[in-house]
C-alpha cells in the first residue's frame, strides 16, 4: 500500500493529491460532493460511484482534514477520495468529513491544480440548501460562471440562484475555478437540515442526467424519500396533536416545526 501512495504526489506541504491509479481521460467532468444539508452531496456521490462502478484513483492528504478512518463494508478508505471512470470521462471527488476553514484554500487549490493536469474543463458542485422541515418546493438552483449561464438557462428544470453565498469547501472550490482555465458552477436544492434527504439528492442527479446525458438510476433514492416523507408527516401529526392537547394558550413564539 505504501508503494501505491507514493505513485504520484501533487500539491504543497499543506495539502497534496496522491494519485494511485492512472486513467485515460479526455477533458473529464469533475463532480464535487461534500457534507451538506440533508447529506445530499454524499448520497449523490455514492449513487454515482456505485452505479458506474467507478475506481478510486487518488486521494487528498492534508493536516486540515480530520484524522479519521472511513470504513465501507469493512474496508478502509481515505477520508477525501477521488474516483474516475474512463468510459464516462468522469471524476468524482468526495469526503464525509469537514475540511477545517483555515485549510480550505490549500485543499481546494491542491484538488484543482491536480484536476487541471487531468484536463478538467468543467467542475460542478452538488450541494443542499438547509431548510426547516420538509421542503415544499424542490427547485434546483444554479450559480455559475458567466459563460456557463446560457447553457444552464436552457434547462426548464433549473433556476438561477440570483443572490447568495456558498461557503465551506464547496464555496472555496468554486472561487478557485475563477482563477483557472475551467468553468465552475453549482447545482443547489433545498434539503432537510437535520436528517438525510434523498429527495434532494434525486433532484440534483436528475439535473446531471439532463445536462450530461448520464443514466443515473434514482429509483432507490425515490423510495427512500417516500419513506422519510411518511415518517416526517407522522411526526408533524404528533406535534400537532401535542399542541392541541396542551391546556391553555400556546407559549409565545411557538411555531409548528413542519408544515
Q: How does pLDDT run across 33-67, given as a tens digit for each residue?
A: 998 888 899 999 999 999 999 999 999 999 999 88
The burial class, CB within 10 Å (0-12 / 13-18 / 19+), for 14 is middle
pLDDT of 31 above 60: yes
pLDDT of 10 above 70: no
pLDDT of 203 above 50: yes
Task: Count Cβ atoms below 10 Å from residue 131 Cβ, excluding itself.
Answer: 18
pLDDT of 249 above 90: no
C-alpha to C-alpha distance for 78 and 92, rounded to whole angstroms: 14
Beta strands in the chain (DSSP E): 8-12, 15-19, 29-33, 55-62, 70-72, 75-77, 80-85, 90-95, 122-131, 140-144, 158-160, 183-192
pLDDT of 15 above 60: yes
Q: Could you say which DSSP state residue 132 is in?
A: S
All residues at 6 or more sequence positions from 87 whose CB lies less than 8 Å from its CB, including other chains? none
Q: Over the range 168-187, which residues count as b (16 or more CB within 10 Å of their CB) and which as e? A: bbbbbbbebbeebebbbbbb
pLDDT band at 216 (very low <50, low <70, confident <90, very high): very high
pLDDT at residue number 254: 32
pLDDT at residue number 4: 45
> CA torsion, points 108, 112, 113, 115, in degrees to nearest 10?
150
pLDDT at residue number 39: 87
The reported pTM is 0.83
C-alpha to C-alpha distance for 175 and 167, rounded to whole angstroms: 10
C-alpha to C-alpha distance for 57 and 59, rounded to whole angstroms: 7
pLDDT band at 28 (very low <50, low <70, confident <90, very high): very high
The cell for 57 is 484513483
The burial class, CB within 10 Å (0-12 / 13-18 / 19+), for 82 is buried
C-alpha to C-alpha distance for 43 and 53, rounded to whole angstroms: 15
Ordered by start, the domain boundaries in the chain are 2-245
Chain centre to alpha carbon of residue 15 = 20
pLDDT in tens, 218-237: 988 888 777 766 665 565 56
Q: Which residue has the higher pLDDT, 71 or 153?
A: 153
pLDDT of 180 above 50: yes
Contact 183, 177 (CB under 8 A): yes
Mean pLDDT (the chain, rounded): 84
pLDDT in tens, 103-152: 999 999 999 999 999 999 999 999 999 888 777 778 899 999 999 999 99
Helix, strand, coil tally for the chain in percent (to 5): 35, 25, 35
pLDDT of 251 above 60: no
pLDDT of 89 above 60: yes
Domain 2-245 carries which CATH code? 3.40.50.10900
Amino acid at each position: 500500500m505504501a508503494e501505491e501512495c507514493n505513485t504520484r504526489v501533487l500539491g504543497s506541504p499543506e495539502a497534496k493529491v496522491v494519485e494511485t491509479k492512472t486513467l485515460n481521460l479526455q477533458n473529464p467532468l469533475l463532480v464535487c460532493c461534500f457534507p451538506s444539508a440533508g447529506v445530499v452531496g454524499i448520497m449523490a456521490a455514492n449513487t454515482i460511484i456505485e452505479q458506474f462502478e467507478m475506481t478510486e484513483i487518488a486521494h487528498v492528504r492534508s493536516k486540515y482534514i480530520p484524522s479519521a478512518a472511513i470504513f465501507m463494508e469493512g474496508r478502509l478508505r481515505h477520508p477525501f477520495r477521488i474516483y474516475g471512470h474512463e468510459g464516462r470521462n468522469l471524476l468524482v471527488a468526495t469526503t464525509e468529513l469537514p475540511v477545517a476553514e483555515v485549510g480550505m484554500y490549500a485543499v481546494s487549490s491542491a484538488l484543482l491544480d491536480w484536476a487541471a493536469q487531468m484536463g478538467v474543463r468543467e467542475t460542478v458542485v452538488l450541494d443542499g440548501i438547509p431548510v426547516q422541515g420538509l421542503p415544499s418546493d424542490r427547485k434546483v438552483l444554479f450559480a455559475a460562471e458567466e459563460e456557463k449561464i446560457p447553457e444552464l438557462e436552457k434547462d426548464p428544470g433549473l433556476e438561477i440562484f440570483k443572490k447568495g453565498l456558498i461557503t465551506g469547501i464547496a464555496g472555496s472550490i468554486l472561487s478557485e475555478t475563477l482563477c483557472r482555465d475551467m468553468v465552475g458552477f453549482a447545482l443547489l436544492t433545498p434539503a432537510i437540515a437535520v436528517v438525510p434527504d434523498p429527495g434532494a439528492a434525486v433532484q440534483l442527479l436528475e439535473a446531471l442526467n439532463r445536462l450530461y446525458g448520464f443514466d443515473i438510476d434514482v429509483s432507490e433514492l425515490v423510495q427512500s424519500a417516500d419513506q422519510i416523507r411518511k415518517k416526517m408527516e407522522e411526526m408533524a401529526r404528533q406535534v400537532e396533536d401535542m399542541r392541541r392537547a396542551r391546556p391553555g394558550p400556546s407559549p409565545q413564539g411557538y411555531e409548528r416545526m413542519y408544515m
